[in-house]
Amino acid sequence: MTRVKKGVHALKTRKNILKQVKGYRFGRSTKERMAYEAISHAGAYAFAHRRDKKGDFRRLWNVRINAALRNIDPKYSYSKFIGNLKKANIAIDRKSLATLALENPKSFEAIVKKVN
């Protein structure tokens, strides 16, 4: 087998890794091994947090819907409203409901009246 010198490829890899960690602090931005470790962790966190973000937004929509419902009737809760929506066969997602509650309270109130 022939001998392969990998200087060019090693330099290219090192340059790409250090380019990705530009702006990181201390040795993570200058040392190849620490930089590689930082990139792998950052990628794992980014992947996990993209999933978490979906749950965070859903929780935010739930809170907004519940707050709007409490403005209409203090005893009416989010869980009762969602249950009544399902019984009435109204298929509207939480994101749309939260947007309506925030930007167009009259429409949201009409939906609430229809469900009850």
Residue 69 contacts residue 81 (beta carbons within 8 Å)? yes
pLDDT of res. 59 = 97
Tens of pLDDT, residues 56-103: 999 999 999 999 999 999 999 999 999 999 999 999 999 999 999 999
Tens of pLDDT, residues 2-40: 898 889 999 999 999 999 999 999 999 999 999 999 999
pTM over 0.85: no
Q: How far apart are CA 89 and CA 2, in angstroms?
A: 71
Strand, coil or helix: what is 73?
Answer: coil
What residue ranges define each of the domains in the chain, with the CATH number in brackets?
Answer: 8-115 (1.10.1900.20)
Q: Which residues contact 90 (CB under 8 A, 6 or more apart)?
A: 111, 114, 115
**Considering the chain, what is the average pLDDT of its residues?**
95
DSSP string covering 43-93, please? HHHHHHHHHHHHHHHHHHHHHHHHHHHHHH-TT--HHHHHHHHHHTT----
